[in-house]
Amino acid sequence: MELKTKISAENGKQDLLITREFDLPLELLFKAHEEADIVEQVMGTKVLKLENKKFGGYQLETKDGKGNVVFQANGVIHEFIPNKKITRTFEMGNTPFGVQLEVYEFEKLTDETSKLNVHVIYESVAQRDQVLKLPFAQGLNMAHDRIQEIVGKLK
């Protein structure tokens, strides 16, 4: 089966391109990036602020059961063209990963399908590779948890 989401990241470059075709009309694909309550569902985080306009900004936050903030992200919106394009910055709070520039381009394929291109530009090659490795590192953590689980059962 062909992969639905494709990532193109060349060695030694500080950007990457994410592409995905959706079984959704263009308007619905765009709406999912525009309405705070849908963004909340997709991202699994609270949306504190989402100003969809030039000079606007956004703020995301996730708290654990005890009220501690476990994830925080924010950015500014540079360009907001409905059903076409969103240009924004993205910064994750309390991390050394800096600020990244994100360009979302929405494309109509047919009446019922659409395509999203996300071009992400990082501050440096090293920073891009570090961010790319984040889920990989979490995978290592998960491998560790599984080992502990298995070892725990052996006891």
Partner 1 sequence: MNLRRDVFQAIADPTRRAILLLLATQSMTAGAIASNFDTARPTVSKHLQILTQCELLKQKQEGRENYYQINAKKMKEVADFIEPFRKMWDDRFNKLETIMKKYKTKK
As measured in angstroms, the least distance from the Cβ of 18 to partner 1 is 6
- Under the binding rule (CB under 8 A), the answer on residue 4 touching partner 1 is yes
Query: Binders of partner 1 among 59-118, rule CB under 8 A?
Result: 116
Positive or negative, the CA dihedral 83, 88, 92, 98 is positive
As measured in angstroms, the least distance from the Cβ of 38 to partner 1 is 6
Query: Binders of partner 1 among 26-45, rule CB under 8 A?
Result: 28-29, 31-32, 38, 41-43
- Under the binding rule (CB under 8 A), the answer on residue 126 touching partner 1 is yes
Rounded Cα gap, residues 50 and 143, in angstroms? 36
List 48, 70, 109, 134, residue binding partner 1 (CB under 8 A): 134
Rounded Cα gap, residues 45 and 42, in angstroms? 8
List 17, 24, 47, 101, residue binding partner 1 (CB under 8 A): 24
- Under the binding rule (CB under 8 A), the answer on residue 7 touching partner 1 is yes
Q: Which is nearer to partner 1, 74 or 127 (CB)?
A: 127
Rounded Cα gap, residues 23 and 153, in angstroms? 43
Tokens of 107: 């494309």
Question: In what helix (H) or strand (E) does residue 81 lie, and over which residues does it extend?
Answer: strand 69-81
- CA distances for 144 relative to 49, 106, 152, angstroms: 36, 39, 12
As measured in angstroms, the least distance from the Cβ of 133 to partner 1 is 5
